[in-house]
Amino acid sequence: MVRDQQLKERWDLLVEKLSAQFSDGDPLELDAIIYLVGVQELGQLHRKFKKDEKINLMHIAICRLLEPYGYYEFDYFDDEGWPHYKIREMLPELKSGEQSVLMKEAIVQYFVEKEYIK
């Protein structure tokens, strides 16, 4: 229960900080935060992305976020600087709520490691 409360508090803080920085205070949703992680990981912060590139950015983010859990492993950067990952272990079957908790936990951990939140 303590762990769940800490995750909720960190998640709320993260959403508040990111929303203030990137959406004029309108609360960012989970998908938007995953997208931001993808942009951060690609490192091409000041460019516009096409629709298929946005999907790829979210894929990069998911791979990076779930890498510490052993599901993905960084493989290489392509000629355009896009990171590629390989699957190490298949994700378990998770209900929607369980997926959301896993992603929130991974995102919070990512931003703690980046020292964006404590």
Residues in a beta bridge with 72: 87
Residue 62 pLDDT: 97
Residues 45-88 pLDDT 10s:
888 999 999 999 999 999 999 999 999 999 999 999 999 999 99
pTM of the model: 0.91
Residues 20-43 pLDDT 10s:
999 987 899 999 999 999 999 999
Asked whether 78 and 84 are in contact (CB, 8 A), the reply is yes
Residue 2 pLDDT: 67
Task: Report the 10 Å Cβ neighbour count for 55.
Answer: 13
Residue 1 pLDDT: 59
Residues 85-105 pLDDT 10s:
999 999 999 998 899 999 999
Instruction: Please determine, for residue 3, whether its predicted confidence score (pLDDT) is greater than 90.
Output: no
Rounded distance between C-alpha atoms, residue 11 and residue 26, angstroms: 15
Q: How confident is the model at residue 113 (pLDDT cuts 50, 70, 90)?
A: very high
